[in-house]
Structure 1
Amino acid sequence: MKRFTLPRTGIAAAASVLSLALATGCSDSGSDSGDGDKATGGKESTAAAKVLSSSELEKAIVATGDVDGFEVTSATDSEPFASSKEKVKVVDEKCAPIAYVLTGFAPGDSEAAYLNRQVTPATEEIAPSATSSDSLEDSLDSITDALNSTMTIVSLSSYEGDGAQETLASVSEAVEGCASGFTVAAGSETQKFTKVASEKASGSGDESVAFAVTGDAEGDEVVVKGEVVRHGSTVATYYSINLAAFSGEAGAGTADYDVPAEIIEAQAAKLS
């Protein structure tokens, strides 16, 4: 599979899902862009008056059973790109909020609490009958489904005062100001992104901004998708990778997809 150096957690997840596909089937994640565009305002949520603690974020973040057809697991099992946000170095500082999203950290600079989860399409076992042509066809279909599925990192961060609003503003400014890309480094690891483009946001929460980032995976382009949504003083971040990017097929990394709408909707429901 191709190596995309920045999101180590995403790479491990991709390898895991693809290997599981040899014996299991994956349901289609589906996707649907919402009605928002860039940073979109909305009705202030009931979360606005309260800054959530780490334990409260644990209860508020999506879990298995909250999103039909998806499994939710820890997002911290693999070696991270950087051990802390302070270790993430971005040549152009205004692009840092996007770099933080793509390295698994909160997009703001003053979060009071933060945690994340990995959301992948739920797997379904195929009846073991290796000599059956139907079983072989099911196995091939499951591999295709896995390659067409999307892995998403969901994170929640809470902020005091105007921190959440300032975070959304900084992400929106980064999307506008980093169109030609940026380079991020941590120690000896570097990753160059060549393009940042605004996407149609879901319109969830009080305001939201969505974007697509084009990066390099061993000479081939890979497009990853992100969305950041403010719910009062809490910021939800979604970062999705389509697993087709690691199939080795020409052009697979630029396949069109979105952050799965059902994940955003499920997380919004838990924060309402």
Structure 2
Amino acid sequence: MKRSSGVRLCATAAVSALSLALITGCSDGGSKGSGNAKGTDAAKPAAKALSAAELKKLIVAQGEVPGYKVGTVEGGVPDKSTLKVADAKCQPVAYAMFAQSPADAAAQTSTEVTGNTKKTPTDDASSLDDKSFEDAMKKSMDIDITVVTLSSYDGDGAEKALQSLSDGVKACAGGFSAKPDGDQTKITKIAEEKSSAPGDASVAYAATNTADGEEAVMHIEVVRHGNTLASYSTMNIGAAMSKKAYTVPAAVIKAQTAKLK
């Protein structure tokens, strides 16, 4: 039985938030619609940047996000040197998408937060017709995968980094190309969204990757807590295949925000 190319690609893709943005043949899960970056101009006195060791103590850990598994980022975080884009204004947008700090930080650390998988009868896939197989794949891959990154800055570095991201989201609505891990990726649209995360200031956007006439959307929120930025990038292949809307999970934001207060 011949499966559609989109289904085969989705079924064999590694479930990693960093690699999901590059997957082709998966449908768009939709976005919440156009929103505005939010923030405040009033900033608390800047403190010295936290160290990598201090950030590791502050990032969410296993058991702190109910219903989710927390662990190392599958496949690792792409090096910044592989994320260069032609328009410098889009650089912070690309960095935040792929679990890097929007601008060079004194220290940063990342972790991956994965929703519980939904078991489906796909062990004997050959016995399923195309529709049943595709439905099973949608259910088994309907999982929110979020990479959380904490980055800390000296002085007003966090404010400047977030501002550069906000400017980039506005300037790069038409998208850009990047090469994470050497694979050319075309982001066709960047759209502002309304942030749901509390903090001193925040930027939220959706990044759309289009391939073979189909779309995949990643949702990103970056929030400033003093001189530390908390970045969230979420992908859900099952929702994308089913054309269902999804966002950065509220439970992940809530758990991480609590550790940064």
Q: Is 1:115–2:109 an aligned residue pair? A: yes
Which residue is equivalent to 1:136?
Answer: none
Is this contact kept in 2: 1:106–1:157, CA < 8 A?
A: yes
Is this contact kept in 1: 2:47–2:155, CA < 8 A?
A: no
Which residue is equivalent to 2:40?
Answer: 41
Alignment of 1:115-264 (within 5 A): 115-122=109-116, 145-185=139-179, 188-244=182-238, 249=241, 252=242, 254-264=243-253
Is this contact kept in 2: 1:183–1:190, CA < 8 A?
A: yes
Structure 1, unaligned runs of 5 or more: 15-32, 131-139
Is this contact kept in 2: 1:39–1:208, CA < 8 A?
A: yes
Is this contact kept in 1: 2:18–2:98, CA < 8 A?
A: no
Q: Is 1:94–2:83 an aligned residue pair? A: no
Aligned CA RMSD, in angstroms, stands at: 3.3
Please report the TM-score for the alignment, with normalisation by the length of structure 2: 0.75
Matches of 1:232 and 1:10, distance apart in 2: 27
Alpha-carbon deviation of 1:66? 1.2
Please report the TM-score for the alignment, with normalisation by the length of structure 1: 0.73
Other structure's SS at 1:214 match: strand
Structure 2, unaligned runs of 5 or more: 1-7, 22-31, 125-133
Which residue is equivalent to 1:2?
Answer: 9
Question: How many residue pairs were aligned?
Answer: 227
Is this contact kept in 1: 2:177–2:184, CA < 8 A?
A: yes
Q: Say which is worse superposed, 152-161 or 177-186, in terms of deviation.
A: 177-186
Alpha-carbon deviation of 1:184? 1.0
Other structure's SS at 2:173 match: coil
Counterpart amino acid of residue 17 in structure 2:
G
Could you give the per-residue CA deviations for residues 32-82 of structure 1, whole angstroms, max 9, x where no partner exists?
Answer: x8xx94132288679x5342111101100001111111110101x4265x4
Other structure's SS at 1:215 match: strand
1:52 to 50, 59, 68: 50
Alpha-carbon deviation of 1:87? 3.2
Matches of 2:165 and 2:62, distance apart in 1: 28
Change (3 A) 1:197 1:9: same
Counterpart amino acid of residue 117 in structure 1:
T
